[in-house]
Structure 1
Amino acid sequence: MQASSILFVAVPAAVLGAASFGLASVLQHRATKLVAPSRTLDPRLLVRLARRPVWVLSIGTVIAGLALQVVALAFGPIVLVQPLLVTGVLFGAVFSALLAHRRVDRMIVLGALACVAGLAAFLLLARPGGGTGTIEAGADVLPLALALGLLVLVALVVAGRFDGPPRVLALATATGVLYGVTAGLIKVVTAQIRTGGIAEPFHHPVLYVVCVVGPIGFLLSQNTFQQGALVAPALAVITVVDPVVGVAVGVGWLGEQVATTPPVLAGEAVAVAVAIAGIVVLAHRGTRLRHEIEQQAYTPPPTWG
């Protein structure tokens, strides 16, 4: 993969995709509060949401974000693209502030600086690259696949048996895992298109797995967005788990590379911790702003006389 393609195509596409996903999260968070809560993975939730114009609008932004993510994955390694999508939580906080008719306040600025600084430091240290977008010959796919599948299964069991924070964090974890796996498989599909044309993916099972895993992850995200005041930690969990799983898939299945010497790993750990701190701040502030939007929308008009 040429460095110019990564710099001028993959990076801008990933950042614009993150902006689209950030706006979508704001709209979906608002829309899911307008319908009755549903059980985990109940598809009737999507039917009820489809009657809400704001949710339909969010689907347009999701499609735009997915298209941009596909472009980014076609021209850049997943170990670069998925971490860049972390900036979606920054865009979500900014869009929340704008919709609440607020200026971008100090908390958003501090969270953004921490998120961007941590992300930039991680990418500079990791120097992601390599890989062909295909599952490497001899790659041991099964252990990671089983581990991720077991993690999703345990998360769903917890979400089904408990309420409150355990349910929210379990839903968020399962969503993040499925999003990360979907990104890895989309990378494979884009490589198939580049080598064999638009019809090539239909001859391989990966495309059909994407068509199952992706929608399940999306439905779980809508379940997560219904969880009231606990959305802030949920968004933080999704935003962290998604790129972690994406990087694991890129390195473990697709042969992509990151620097792993002990000093670099220590620096990467610090960078990730700084980015996570920024993500938590942005998710918390963004959620508070979204609640203010909802309160403004439902404040009854004053009575006179």
Structure 2
Amino acid sequence: MNSGTVLVIAVPSAVVGAASFGMASAIQHRVTKQVPEGATLSPRMLWDLVRKPIWVLSIGTVVVGLSLQVVALAFGPLVLVQPVLVTSVLFGAAFSAWLAQRRMDRVLALGALSCAGGLAAFLVLAQPSGHGSEFTGAPVLPLALVLGLLVVLSLGAARWLPGEFGVIGLAVATGVLYGVTAGLMRVVAGQFRTGGLVEPFGHWTLYAVCVIGPMGFLLSQRTFQRGRLISPSLAVITTVDPLASAAIGVSWLGESIESSPAILAGEAVAAALMIGGIVVLTRRSEQLGRELSQQEEPGSWG
């Protein structure tokens, strides 16, 4: 495929897809605050949200984003498309500021840019290769235990840590569940291609997706509800999701990533950028949250 086709179709599709994801996240972040809080994994929240037309519209926006992602991947390489898609962090922050009728905070923008840039650099350097859709026979349990423990610890942190730090815990758990869902969906898709429509129903992976996927989506809505600002939670979800998916691809599906000393050094720098961006977003969100709370207190205008 020539470079002109990639530039004309793949890149615009990826950019608009990222914008669609960012817009949907901004809408959901706003609407989730209009429904009662409840237990972290209580499905009652979704029943409350589905009665909000603007929230239902945001789900349509997600479908548009996913469709454009498929188009982008059909006409462009993963190493180009996936880094473009992570700009949804910037779009989400911008749309959230627009919906709230306020200016985009420069520190939040810098943190989001650092996080998105670090992830994009990591993906470009790692150059994930292979399209594994079958388990290679390698042990599934070790990585499954690590990811499961990470979710449990993250949910524990969300329960006990205050403010935005607790929100980060929810976001990490969400990103892990999203990444696991994406990884297992590749297996389900492979079963469908080789055995037809009925084949996936004979394997545990489809049923795991049907449980883990909705759990991840519910956690994402709870994360948006608890977070005062969208940037930290969206940045963490967008970062953890592809990393967890890549870990599954390498460990379970026989995919490979670049791992030379120079590449590993570059990946370490990219990881530092991601972590630094998340720290900046979290601390700035805590500060802005306190300022907004003071403004909302009775008599604070005097």
**Common fold: TM-score over 0.5:** yes
CA drift of 1:108 comes to: 6.9
Partner of 2:18: 18
Deviation at 1:195, TM superposition (A): 3.6
Aligned pair in 2 of structure 1 residues 283, 78: CA closer, same or farther (>3 Å)?
farther
Q: Which moved more, 1:109-118 or 1:56-65?
A: 109-118
User: What is the match of residue 266 of structure 1?
Assistant: 265
Give the conservation status (yes or no) of the 8 Å contact 1:89–1:282.
no
Q: Report the Cα distance in structure 1 between the residues aligned to 2:240 and 2:5, rounded to whole angstroms.
A: 27
3-state secondary structure, aligned to 1:37 = coil
Q: Which position in structure 2 is the counterpart of 1:41?
A: 41
Contact 1:78 1:250 in 2 (8 A): no
Residue deviations 1:1-46 (CA, integer Å, cap 9, x gap): xx99999987766554433221111000110111121111111111
Greater displacement, 167-176 / 115-124: 115-124
Decide whether the 8 Å contact of 2:10 with 2:81 is kept in 1.
yes
Partner of 2:155: 156
Q: State the alpha-carbon separation in 2 of the partners of residues 211 and 278 from structure 1.
A: 32
| Letter aligned with residue 63 of structure 2 | I
One-letter code of the match for 1:176? G
Q: Distance in 1 between matches of 2:246 and 2:137?
A: 19
C-alpha deviation, 1:266, in angstroms: 0.7
Whether the 8 Å contact between 1:9 and 1:75 is mirrored in structure 2 is yes
Distance 2:174 2:27 in 1: 18
Find the counterpart in structure 2 of residue 56 from structure 1. 56
Residue equivalent to 1:225: 224
Q: How many Å apart are 1:65 and its aligned residue?
A: 3.1
Distance in 1 between the 2:180 and 2:73 partners? Answer: 13
Q: Answer with 268-277 or 147-156: which moved more.
A: 268-277
SS of 2:25 mapped into structure 1: helix
User: What is the SS of the residue equivalent to 1:33?
Assistant: helix
Q: Is the 8 A contact 1:78 1:247 kept in 2?
A: no
Q: Aligned-pair distance for 1:213?
A: 0.6
Distance of 2:219 and 2:29 partners within structure 1: 13
Query: Are residues 262 and 28 of structure 1, via their aligned partners in 2, closer, same or farther at CA, if it must alter by over 3 Å?
Result: same
Q: Which residue of 1 aligns with 2:96?
A: 96
Q: Structure 1 residues 134 and 287 mapped into 2: Cα distance closer, same or farther (>3 Å)?
A: farther
Q: C-alpha deviations, 1:226-250, integer Å up to 9, x for none?
A: 1142654333322222122111111
Query: Does the 8 A contact of 2:164 with 2:285 survive in 1?
Result: no
The SS at the match of 2:228 is: helix
2:127 aligned residue: 127
User: How far apart are the structure 2 equivalents of 1:67 and 1:272?
Assistant: 29
What amino acid is aligned across from residue 206 of structure 1 in structure 2?
T
TM-score normalised by the chain length of structure 2: 0.77
Task: Please state how far the C-alpha of 1:184 moved relative to its aligned partner.
Answer: 0.7
Q: Is the 8 A contact 2:93 2:109 kept in 1?
A: no
Write out aligned runs for 1:221-300 (5 A). Answer: 221-229=220-228, 231-278=230-277
Q: Is the 8 A contact 1:79 1:256 kept in 2?
A: no
Question: Residue 217 and residue 186 in structure 1: after superposition, are their counterparts in 2 closer, same or farther (change >3 A)?
Answer: same
> Map of 1:183-198 to 2, 5 A cutoff?
183-198=182-197
Give the distance between the partners of 2:276 and 2:255, measured in 1 at CA. 27
Distance in 1 separating the partners of 2:79 and 2:88 = 16
Change (3 A) 1:210 1:159: same
Q: 1:57 to 1:172 in 2, by over 3 A?
A: same
Taking a change above 3 Å as real, the CA distance of residues 178 and 263 of structure 1, as seen in their structure-2 partners, is same
Counterpart AA for 2:45: L
TM-score of the pair, normalised by structure 1:
0.76
> Where does residue 212 of structure 1 map in the other structure?
211
Q: Which has the higher contact order (CA 8 A, sep 6+)?
A: 1
Check conservation: 2:43, 2:218, Cα contact below 8 A.
yes
| 2:142 counterpart residue number | 143
Over aligned residue pairs, what C-alpha RMSD do you find? 4.0
Partner of 1:87: 87
Q: Which residue identity is paired with 2:60? A: G
Residue in structure 1 matched with residue 300 of structure 2 by the alignment: none
Give the length in aligned residue pairs.
293
State the Cα distance separating 1:85 from its structure 2 match: 3.9
1:105 and 1:227 map into 2 onto residues whose CA distance is: 20
> Offset of 1:82 from its aligned partner?
5.9
How much has 1:154 moved relative to structure 2? 3.0
Q: Deviations over 1:161-213 (max 9, x none)?
A: 56545532322221111011011112223333444445543443322221111
Whether the aligned pair in 2 keeps the contact of 1:250 and 1:256 (CA below 8 Å) is yes
Instruction: Report if the CA contact (8 A) 1:129-1:257 is conserved.
Output: yes
